[in-house]
Amino acid sequence: MNGRILKPEEYFIESEPYYEPVGDEIAIFEAAYRNQLPVLLKGPTGCGKTRFMEHMAWRLQRPLITVSCHDDLTASDLVGRFLVKGGETIWIDGPLAAAVRAGGICYLDEVVEARKDTTVVIHPLADDRRVLPMEKVGKLLEATPEFALVLSFNPGYQSLLKDLKQSTRQRFVALEFNYPDSALEQRIIEKESAIEADMAARLVKFAHMTRHLKGSGLDEGASTRLLVHAAKLIAGGVDPVVACRACIAQALTDDADMLSAINELSASLF
C-alpha cells in the first residue's frame, strides 16, 4: 500500500488577502490557534468568513485546505479511501487527513450541509485527543501542534434537520460574524472594486433596504460579496440599475413580486 501525501506548499497563501477586521476576531483566532483550540465561524452568507480564513492562514503562514460541504459528503471524502491504480492498491488521503499530516488549517465551509454521520468524524480532532481515526487502515492519525480545525455555518438557515448538534458546537471557540457597519462596508466596496465613494455609499444604502426585507419575502438581504460584484460591474461601465438587478436582485430571489420590489428600490437610488 502506498499513500499520497499532500504538498503543503501548494496550499500556502503567498500574498496578503484584503480583510478589514470588524471586532477582535483576529486576536481571538490567534489565541485559539496558539492553544490548539478549534474554531467555529457563525454568520450570514457573504459576510467575509472565507476571506477571514484566507487572511488568518496568511498571517499564521499555514497551508489552508478548504472543503465546501454538501449533503453527499461522506466520512471517506474527508478522511481518505483506497483506490486501485495500475494494478496496485493505494491509499489516498482526504483533505482532512492531508491537513492533519501537513499541520495545516482545515476549513469545513457550511458544515451543516454535510451528512450527520460525517461530522462525527471530526469530534476526536476537536477535543483534547486531537486524533483522526482512520478506520480503513486501522490507525489513529495524531495532529501536529500546527494543525487547526475550523468550521463555518449560517445560523440563519438553521432548521431541525440542519443544525449543529451540541456535541459538536461545544467543542469549539465560536466567532460571530455579521455585515460591517456602513462606513466600513463602503470602504470595503471601494477597495475591492475601485468604485467612486458616492456610488459605494448608495450600494450600502441599497443593501440595508434589502436586509430589512429578511423574513418578509427574502431569506437573506444583499451580502457584502454581492455589493462588491455589483460595484465591479458598475466600475466597468454597466448601468447601476442593471448591475444591481443582475448581481443582487436575481441572486436573492426568483419570486416575481420580490424581484419587482427590489428593482424598484435600486431604481429609487440610482
Q: Please answer whether residues 125 and 143 qualify as being in contact, where contact means their C-beta atoms are separated by less than 8 angstroms.
A: yes
Mean of the per-residue pLDDT values for the chain?
Answer: 92
At residue 1, the pLDDT reads: 45
Whether the pLDDT of residue 159 is over 70: the answer is no
Query: What average pLDDT does the segment 8-25 reach?
Result: 91
Q: Is 5 exposed, middle or buried (0-12, 13-18, 19+ CB in 10 A)?
A: exposed
Whether the pLDDT of residue 160 is over 60: the answer is no
Confidence category of residue 164, pLDDT binned at 50, 70, 90: confident
At residue 158, the pLDDT reads: 53
How far is Cα 115 from Cα 165, in angstroms, rounded to an integer? 12
DSSP designation for 247: I
Q: How many residues does the chain have?
A: 270
Structure confidence by residue, pLDDT tens digits, 237-246: 999 999 999 9
Highest mean pLDDT among 34-43, 113-122, 148-157: 34-43
Give bridge partners of residue 107 from the DSSP assignment: 66, 150
Confidence category of residue 6, pLDDT binned at 50, 70, 90: low
How far is Cα 182 from Cα 166, in angstroms, rounded to an integer? 34
CA proximity to 229, closest of 242, 219, 210: 242
Q: Please answer whether residues 76 and 92 qualify as being in contact, where contact means their C-beta atoms are separated by less than 8 angstroms.
A: no
Could you give the dihedral angle defined by the CA atoms of residues 266, 267, 269 and 270, in that order, rounded to the nearest 10 degrees? 110
Q: Please answer whether residues 233 and 243 qualify as being in contact, where contact means their C-beta atoms are separated by less than 8 angstroms.
A: yes
Whether the pLDDT of residue 5 is over 80: the answer is no
How far is Cα 53 from Cα 26, in angstroms, rounded to an integer? 10
Q: Please answer whether residues 19 and 51 qualify as being in contact, where contact means their C-beta atoms are separated by less than 8 angstroms.
A: yes
DSSP designation for 191: H
